[in-house]
Structure 1
Amino acid sequence: MSVQTREAPPRKRRPAAAPRAAGPQPGEGRRADKATLPYLLLLPALALTAVFLGYPLVTNGMLSFQNLNMTQLIQHVTEWNGFANYTDTLSNEEFWRVTLRSVIFTAVNVVVIIVVGTLIGLLLARLGPRMRLLLSVALVLAWAMPIIAATTVYQWLFAQRFGVVNWVLAELGFESMADYNWTGTQLSTFFVISLLLVWTSVPFVAINLYAATTTIAKELYEAAALDGAGAWQSFKCVTLPFLKPFLLVATFLEIIWIFKAFPHVFAINEGGPNRLTETLPVYAFVEGVGGQHYGTGAAISVLTILILLALMAYYLRIVLRQEDADETENDGEMA
C-alpha cells in the first residue's frame, strides 16, 4: 500500500527592504533644530553677560597688575608692576582686619535676615487674606525703595539732633539718649547699618518663603495632626523639609548680597568712624578711588571676589548635593 505525501507549499519571501537613502532623513532635521534651539535662545543673554560683566572683570583684572595713579592717568601711561599690588595688599595687616570684619558682619546679618524672613513668611501663611495683602504690600514697598533713599531715611531717623529715634527714646525715659550720636562708635554704626540691611533684605526672604509654603499639601498637616503632632513637630517634620531647598538658596544669595554690600555701609558714615566700619568693598573704594591708587583698589576688588568664592565653595557644594538628592528622590517616585 503506497502512501501519498503532500509537499509543503513554498514559503512566500518577504520583499527585501529598500536601501536607506543617503543624507539626512526628514525627521532628523527637526531633531537637530530642537537640539540647537535652546543654545540659540541663550546667545543674546550670554552676549550681554560677556559685554556688561565679562569686560569689566577683565579690565579690572588688568588694572590690578598696573601702577595706576593720578599721574599715569593724566599722562595716559601704562605702567605694569606685576604682582606688586597683590603682595602689598596681602602683607598689609589692615586688609586682614577688614576681611575678618567683613566675614563677621556678613555672618551676623545673614543669620538675622534668614530668621526674621522665615518668621514673617510663616506669619503670612497664617494670616487672613486682608492682613496678608496689607503686610505683603508693606514688604514690597520696603523692598522696592531705592537703596540711597532708604539710607537717607535711616540717616534722618538716627540723626544726633532732631532724630526720631533719639526723640522717642527720650520720651520713653531714656534722657541720656536725647543727643546720642549713633555713628560715633563702631558698634552703634554697625547697628544702624545692620537694621538697614535687614529692612531691605527681609522682604525677599519672607515673600518667597510664603510662596514656598503654598506648595505644601494640607493633607500632610492633617495626617500629622492625626498622629498627635503639635505645632513644633508639624513644622519640623512637614514644613521644614519642604522649605529646606529654598532656605539653602536664599542663604546662598544673602551671603553674596551682604558681603558685597557697598552703598548701605558707605552712605551711612563712609566707613567711619576712623575707618572702623569699612568692609572689603568700601575698603577697595577708599584705597582705590579715595587714595587715587587705582591699581591697588583693583587688586583689592579681585581679592574680594576670590575670598567670597572661597567662602561660598563649601556652601555651594551643600546646595548642589541638595539638588542632586531632590532629583534622585523625584526619579525614584516616578519609577
Structure 2
Amino acid sequence: MSQTARVRRRRDLTPLFLLIPAGVVLLALTAWPLIQLVVTSFLEFGRAQIFGAPPVFVGLDNYADVLTDAEFWQVLGRSVAFCLVNVLLTMLLGIAIGVLMTKLGGGFKLLVSVGLLLAWAMPPVTASVVWGWIFDTDRGVVNYLLTQITGADFSGHSWLIDPLSFFFVATIIVTWQAIPFVAFTVFAGLTQVPNEVLEAAEIDGATGWQRFRLIVLPYLRGVLVILLILQIIWDMRVFSQIYALQTVGGIAAETNTIGVYIFKVSIGAGDLGAGGAISVLLVILMLALSGYYIRSLLKQEES
C-alpha cells in the first residue's frame, strides 16, 4: 500500500476513532440501562425480589397485564392529549417569539433573552411550586386578580381539584418552560436565512406571510422537525410538574400521566416488572414517532 493510500485511509478512520469515547459513554449511560429495563419487563420483580428473592421469568405476562388494564389505556390517552396540547402551544408560541426576537432592538432583545433564560433555567419542581403558589386556593394571585377584575368571589377556588383546571395549570408550567428552547433554536435558524433572498422576494411583491411561508419555513423545516420530535418526547414523559402539582392538591387518580403512572406502579406499588413493561411500551411508541418524522425529513431532503 502506498504512502498516499495509507494517509487517506487513516483520515477516513479518524472520525470513527473520535466517536469511540462518545459511543462508549452512550452505551454505558443509555444502552445498558435500556437492556436492563427490557430484561426486567419479562420478570416478576415485586417487593419480594427487591428484598432479595430471586426474580421469576414470566415471559409476556407483564405486557398482557398492562395491555388489558383499562387504567393504562386511560392514562395513555390522557398523556397523549396533554402532550398534543403542550406541543402545539409550545411550537406556535416558540416560533412566534423567535420571529419577534429578529425584529427587536438590542435592549429589548436582551430583556426577552434574559426572561427566557430564567424560565428555562428554573428546575421543574421549583417552577411547579411557584406556579402552585400563584394558583393557591386561599392566597393565590390568580384568585385575587379574578375577584378584583370580574367582581365574582374566587376566594377559596381550587384550581387543582378539578382535572380540567389541573391540566390547565400544568400546561402553563410545561409550556412556559419549553418555549425558551424552541424560541432560541428558531431564532438561531432565522439568522441563517439569506437576507438577499428575502429582499428579492419583497421587491417582487411578496407579503410578510408569503416570505415566511415560502422562504423561511423551507429553510427551517429540518430544525422544526427536530424540535417537534424533542417536544413530543419530553411532553410524553413529563413527570416532575405533574407529581409536584398532585402533592399540593391534585387528585392523583384522575390526573396521572404516563410518567407518573410508571413511577407509582414501579415504586408505589412495588411492581418493577409491570413498570418496566410500561416503560418499554413508551420507548417503542417514542421510537415509532421519531422514526416516522426522521424518515419523512430524509425523503424531503432527497427529493
Category of TM-score, reference length = shorter chain: over 0.9
| Residue equivalent to 1:201 | 178
Q: Is the 8 A contact 2:229 2:289 kept in 1?
A: no
Runs of 4+ aligned residues of structure 1 deviating over 4 Å after TM superposition are: none
CA displacement at 1:277 relative to structure 2: 1.7
Which structure is richer in relative contact order (CA contacts within 8 A, separation 6 or more)?
2
Gaps in structure 2 of 5+ consecutive residues: none
Q: Is the 8 A contact 1:167 1:178 kept in 2?
A: yes
For 1:158 and 1:211, locate their aligned partners in 2 and report how far apart those are by CA, in whole Å: 34
| Residue equivalent to 1:255 | 232
For 1:312 and 1:45, locate their aligned partners in 2 and report how far apart those are by CA, in whole Å: 22
For 2:203 and 2:301, locate their aligned partners in 1 and report how far apart those are by CA, in whole Å: 31
Alpha-carbon distance change, 205 to 174 in structure 1, aligned in 2, over 3 angstroms: farther
Q: Answer yes or no: is 1:51 the counterpart of 2:32.
A: no
| Residue equivalent to 1:294 | 272
Gaps in structure 1 of 5+ consecutive residues: 1-23, 326-335
Aligned-pair RMSD on alpha carbons? Answer: 1.7
For 1:53 and 1:156, locate their aligned partners in 2 and report how far apart those are by CA, in whole Å: 36
For 1:89 and 1:118, locate their aligned partners in 2 and report how far apart those are by CA, in whole Å: 38
Tell me whether 179-188 or 231-240 shows the greater mean CA deviation.
231-240
Q: Is the 8 A contact 1:169 1:178 kept in 2?
A: no
CA displacement at 1:272 relative to structure 2: 4.3
CA displacement at 1:224 relative to structure 2: 2.0
Q: Answer yes or no: is 1:276 the counterpart of 2:254.
A: yes
CA displacement at 1:222 relative to structure 2: 2.2
Percentage of matched positions with identical amino acids: 36
Q: State TM-score, norm by structure 1.
A: 0.85
Q: How does 1:190-269 map to 2 (within 5 A)?
A: 190-269=167-246
Structure 1 counterpart SS, 2:43:
coil
Count how many residue pairs are aligned between Structure 1 and Structure 2: 302
CA displacement at 1:317 relative to structure 2: 1.9
| Residue equivalent to 2:68 | 91
**Partner amino acid for 2:278?**
I
CA displacement at 1:199 relative to structure 2: 0.6
Q: Answer yes or no: is 1:181 the counterpart of 2:158.
A: yes
For 2:22 and 2:38, locate their aligned partners in 1 and report how far apart those are by CA, in whole Å: 23
Q: State TM-score, norm by structure 2.
A: 0.94
Tell me whether 107-116 or 169-178 shows the greater mean CA deviation.
169-178
